[in-house]
Structure 1
């Protein structure tokens, strides 16, 4: 495996016009910034309704949105199911947040009892209509302590044997003491914020998986220090205020 090769990296962002309710563009920005500081040329392709997904993505990102947005993109997502599943089967890491992750799971049971089928890329099913969880969240994961913000009324039920992203130490997460779910190198999470700028170790895990798939090693360097410093400052604020009470309107 090469430790120094700088290669072009392609990020596929799914439905940025509909699924960006929690600032998920920041996740793409974080990935781009850290890749560029490692010397890679980054291309971001935004997939919109009516298009076909490309077959050469190195990372796939999808964000969060309301039920209306989920319904709006659902048909197009199913039309592109084969292409997205092929990317996942080929080991391309997906980073999925909130409602976008639910669309890539087994299905979503809505409050009226109807079910929106998912792509089955992530091993879980979502159920809407549970008490809303709003506030800061802290999760202990293999990538270290993950912090962020949550605002959801979904319960994620993982398939038997599925591995969560981590264990919740403060907040709600999936609704059962766990947060998110893993599928190979892909990550689904309820943590927002956006989460990747706040958690460089998580961002680096996604990047490392993408580059190792192309036989290129990755490690952050001095060029990443300022990004890490800014993230640390923001993380300190969240940890200091983790018990703050938030209200919904």
Structure 2
């Protein structure tokens, strides 16, 4: 929106019927919860809409955008069995609609009751994340499960900790995309101090997008952001209990 405009956010329950699925081939009939976000901005032409969710597609100047934002959103929505739709016309604004399958209240309670608490541990974890809020959250979660957590906001801090503690670190959890150094390069340097260290790479971008255009291998341990308390704790225990180090 250039200058003054209106941003409208709505939520409501909807029913997707067969007629709707005729124009949206991937959709499945059923009850959904819809989040709608509309603006009164400049809108987009069809040639842009046709490529909107493709990884690395951007209309911004070179160096001003990665082209991964909407591709990441699309991936997260589809991972959760949802759908995303967009309507836009030049000079008439844009509307994004995100629909997630509705879950009856009784099913939500059953799911909550049977959820198992991930196993705790006493190992030492080096957590590297340039976003301070995520770093604090991750540290708090892991400490709640008994781990000793070394928190570093930059690769330089992480390397300093690894150099001083040498082989005393059991697991590295690091963001993939950081200003100073790629997560994969950081892992290689830390492995020089801690050869047996295991690694979890985390990112807000989808795993297939990250591996498409980076040094990250397809078979590494990957944690998608945003993550829940249970997901982080379970992944940490899974990797620590596994055999061999991530290379």
TM-score tier, shorter chain, comes to 0.3 to 0.5
Relative to its length, the structure with more strand (as a share) is 1
Q: Which has the higher contact order (CA 8 A, sep 6+)?
A: 1
Relative to its length, the structure with more helix (as a share) is 2
- Alignment TM-score, normalising by the size of structure 2: 0.35
- Alignment TM-score, normalising by the size of structure 1: 0.35
